[in-house]
Structure 1
Amino acid sequence: MGPKSIGQTGNWLLAPPQSGASNFPSPIFIFIENTFDFAIIDRVSTSMQNKFLLPVALVSVVLIGVFGGTLHQDKQRVYELTMATGTKTGYYYPFGQGIAEVVMQQNPRLRIKVVETQGSDENMRRLEANEAQLAIVQNDTAAVPQARVIASLFKEVFHLIVSEQSGIESVSDLKGKHIALMAQGSGSYSSFWFVSKHYGLKASDFQYTAGSWTEATNLFASGEADAIFRVLPLGNDLVRDLLQNTPGKLVPIDQAAAMKIKLPYLQADLIPKGTYKAAPAVPDVDLPTVEVQATLLVRKDVDPVIVKEITRILFEHRRNLVAANSLAAMISQPSKSGGLALPVHEGAQAYYDREKPNFIAANSNVIGLSFSFVTLFVSWLLQLRARFLQQQKNRADKFNLIILNLIQRSRQAETFEEIDRLQEELFEIFKQVIVDLDEERIDADSFHSFTFTWETALKITAEREKVLRNWSLASHDLKADFTDVKKMEE
């Protein structure tokens, strides 16, 4: 069909050579020969591709198997984390146990091991040393680089409990007294030294004993200790029992706003009247004090997916947590004003941002406007390109028309001089086309189309020249024969 259709659309271009022409191959023969060559090349190329694709396919199957197995193992993997809390008689340890139990109930692949510690300072050190991946600390604890925030857990306030006979009415009156403190490494221990320093007290101004709550209450009940300092949740049962069974009272800590200047994470708060005893009320007035937040921390290198899942369970299964520990009712997203000097972990932040619109939704108007501008710009570029390509095609068509005219003139040429002029014109046109190709006034496809027409024209002029040469020889022979006949007649 190919050669036949070409002949139908331009049979004058593929006219067979006249009698006496040379054996120069015709354009149809060239076309068939090139087509055959391309078929062979294509078959060889296909064979090479098949040989190449087989190992690629095998490698792909192996990789899919490996990745599939890894993905399956990852889905079955159990993640174990260690949580640093506090003493078993305090509040952090049971709270941490409640979190660990609910997390495992909701996601059996997450296992949290709760460990007993002295408190916030030790927990921070364990977090930094990677001895624990989770920790509960007071938010006034000195932070470490590895720590990140998950959530605020519950509120704690400073309690200064003094005996009735001690004569202590304010923090400043602790001078010369004996104070029972929490063990070193706890948040309460550090908080006391911050408060005492604020009120101008030095370690040499009083005696102190660091130990457990039991040790502190024994010293207090026996009269050996004049005061107990603890940071505990409001309404705490240990404080209630102590105040109801011993002649003790609470002393105000009324300079929270001033302390906040140095430690911005502190907040002013009140111990409401009658919190620990109704009649007579203890305290007998709303008592000013200082508030801190118990905060759940995580190492920054813990997988964000794991942290997001823990955060989700804390907030979406709070009822289960409250059943385990009533303080869980106060779990909240950390605020910028009341949190640690630490960023929120990216996994927890991902949970908090779950209902926020994504970037595309939040910037839909700007994106839509930008897309419109880009569409218009691309459309303009495409139009320019189409116009440029059309110009290239038009110029190539112009040269092809000139060549076609030269072919027609070649077929009608009667002298060798005409043939020479036509050939010179052909080469001049070819030079011009080469220049236009270099300067991108015509494209490569148009150039290939032109060269086919140009070569055909050159062959036709060569054929015509040979025809004229044969005619010239024949004419010369006829003249010679005629001369010989004439001589014989004479």
Structure 2
Amino acid sequence: MTSTTNRARGPRIVAAAILAPALFLSACGSPVTDGGGGEGGGGAEGGDGGTLSIATGGTGGVYYPLGGGFATVIRENVEGYDATVQETNASVDNMLLIQSNAAQLAFSVGDVVADAVEGVNDFEGQPLEICSLGNIYNNYLQTVTVEGTGIQSIEDMRGKVVSVGAPSSATEVAALRTLEAAGLDPETDIDRRQLGVAETVAALRDGTIDAGFWSGGLPTGALIDLAADGDMVIIPIGEYAAPMAEEYGEYYVESEIPAETYEGQTEAIPVIASPNILVASKSMDEELQQNITAALFDNKDQLVQVHPAAEEMDPATAADVPFVETCPGAQAYFDSAG
């Protein structure tokens, strides 16, 4: 168990907490939650201009603020196009929004993208015609509790109240698979809740849950706030990456949350990482695909100011995603950038 007690907040966390609001709020405006594609709506991806809707996630995670940064960059660099963000339940919902053309761009984590391409699990019998605009950054499955719950491992969750993430989210998919890899039945061995990261933090604070899962970039805003309370505990789960990769696919790898990512976190913590993909429909105009990809990767420094997760954006490796086709326009950009 690695506690976050009695440590000073590092400069990296302060930067993330302070810079993000100023740089992305104007791009986001009020969250769009009705499934609408914005002003440009359904025709925006055809190459004739309009508004592109970006499906993100909850406001406490990384997708939403980083999506706001993406919207600003697109607005400023892709001629004829504006962009807005939608607050969603994240990965699974986002793929369905792409399928219905209620969003033209979407964030999604690797396991969900692979399922969507193959037409399995939440997409059973309905494979999606999607492609990748690049691997953006890694998601880290962060499993947290607070001191006093007695939870030091996944096995200790037996009989406890545990949030596995919002319904139809990548967090939920990965959390259920992690519990199963540890020998727990998510249906019978835990008292299961389905909460987003902000709700998970609130429930940990008021004691209505004992632990929760969150799949997101580093650092995650809601967990920065929880760590500031002085009693957050991050549970090591890296040992389950290999069996999950063997059973489900190579989008699960063991990685670490570096020491001092969160206040009071004195040691690196082994966890499970998965790539985050920016997804579009295969029907999107190829020139538009290329222009969006160029705008985002060429303005990486601006995006890092919105969220440090964007530091991982690398055109040299962004097309290395074996489980989904890279959009031809994006591939053209990556080839020229190399």
| TM bucket, shorter chain | 0.7 to 0.9
Residue matched to 2:156: 173
Deviations 1:383-437 (A, max 9, x none): xxxxxxxxxxxxxxxxxxxxxxxxxxxxxxxxxxxxxxxxxxxxxxxxxxxxxxx
Matched length: 277
Q: CA deviation at 1:273?
A: 2.9
Given the alignment, which residue of 249, 264, 270 partners 2:256? 270
Q: CA deviation at 1:183?
A: 1.4
Structure of higher CA gyration radius: 1
> What is the SS of the residue equivalent to 1:255?
helix
Residue matched to 2:176: 193
Residue matched to 1:230: 214
Q: How does 1:108-257 map to 2 (within 5 A)?
A: 108-141=79-112, 142-144=115-117, 145-202=128-185, 203-253=187-237, 254-257=239-242
CA contact 1:84–1:135 (8 Å) conserved in 2: yes
Give structure 1 stretches of 5+ with no counterpart. 1-75, 357-490
Q: Whole-Å Cα distance in 2 between the matches of residues 122 and 146 of structure 1?
A: 15
Q: Tell me which of the two structures has the higher relative contact order, counting C-alpha pairs closer than 8 angstroms and 6 or more residues apart.
A: 2
Whether 2:303 is the aligned partner of 1:321: answer: yes
1:336 to 1:114, Cα distance in 2 relative to 1, 3 A: closer
Q: CA deviation at 1:82?
A: 2.2
CA contact 1:140–1:340 (8 Å) conserved in 2: no
CA contact 1:143–1:342 (8 Å) conserved in 2: no
Q: CA deviation at 1:86?
A: 1.1
Q: What RMSD in Å do the two structures reach over aligned CA positions?
A: 2.3
Deviations 1:220-243 (A, max 9, x none): 122221111111222334223313
Deviations 1:1-21 (A, max 9, x none): xxxxxxxxxxxxxxxxxxxxx
Higher fraction of strand: 2
Farther-moved stretch of structure 1 (138-147 vs 287-296): 138-147
- TM-score using structure 1 length: 0.53
Q: CA deviation at 1:327?
A: 2.7
CA contact 1:221–1:246 (8 Å) conserved in 2: no
Q: Whole-Å Cα distance in 1 between the matches of residues 334 and 84 of structure 2?
A: 25
Residue matched to 1:352: 334
> What is the SS of the residue equivalent to 1:205?
coil
Q: Whole-Å Cα distance in 2 between the matches of residues 293 and 340 of structure 1?
A: 11
Farther-moved stretch of structure 1 (159-168 vs 288-297): 159-168
Whether 2:313 is the aligned partner of 1:331: answer: yes
Whether 2:274 is the aligned partner of 1:292: answer: yes
Residue matched to 2:59: 88
Q: Whole-Å Cα distance in 1 between the matches of residues 230 and 206 of structure 2?
A: 10
1:277 to 1:89, Cα distance in 2 relative to 1, 3 A: closer
Higher fraction of helix: 1
CA contact 2:182–2:240 (8 Å) conserved in 1: no
Q: Whole-Å Cα distance in 2 between the matches of residues 236 and 138 of structure 1?
A: 15
1:216 to 1:336, Cα distance in 2 relative to 1, 3 A: closer
Q: CA deviation at 1:349?
A: 0.7
Given the alignment, which residue of 82, 98, 108 partners 2:69? 98
- TM-score using structure 2 length: 0.75
Q: Whole-Å Cα distance in 2 between the matches of residues 217 and 268 of structure 1?
A: 24
Q: Whole-Å Cα distance in 1 between the matches of residues 140 and 198 of structure 2?
A: 20
Q: Whole-Å Cα distance in 2 between the matches of residues 299 and 340 of structure 1?
A: 17
Kindly provide the amino acid, as one letter, of the partner of residue 176 in structure 1.
Answer: G
Given the alignment, which residue of 221, 236, 244 partners 1:259? 244
4+ residue runs of structure 1 moved beyond 6 angstroms?
none
Kindly provide the amino acid, as one letter, of the partner of residue 241 in structure 2.
Answer: A
Q: How does 1:374-413 map to 2 (within 5 A)?
A: none
Q: Whole-Å Cα distance in 1 between the matches of residues 223 and 56 of structure 2?
A: 20
> What is the SS of the residue equivalent to 2:228?
helix
> What is the SS of the residue equivalent to 2:106?
strand
> What is the SS of the residue equivalent to 2:277?
strand
Kindly provide the amino acid, as one letter, of the partner of residue 83 in structure 2.
Answer: I
Residue matched to 1:71: none
Q: Whole-Å Cα distance in 2 between the matches of residues 231 and 240 of structure 1?
A: 14
Q: Whole-Å Cα distance in 2 between the matches of residues 99 and 299 of structure 1?
A: 17
1:323 to 1:166, Cα distance in 2 relative to 1, 3 A: closer
Given the alignment, which residue of 282, 286, 289 partners 1:307? 289
Residue matched to 1:386: none
CA contact 1:83–1:113 (8 Å) conserved in 2: yes
> What is the SS of the residue equivalent to 2:193?
strand
Give structure 2 stretches of 5+ with no counterpart. 1-46, 118-127
Q: CA deviation at 1:201?
A: 1.4
Q: Whole-Å Cα distance in 2 between the matches of residues 246 and 102 of structure 1?
A: 36
> What is the SS of the residue equivalent to 1:341?
coil
Q: CA deviation at 1:336?
A: 8.7
1:100 to 1:213, Cα distance in 2 relative to 1, 3 A: same
CA contact 1:127–1:146 (8 Å) conserved in 2: no
> What is the SS of the residue equivalent to 1:310?
helix
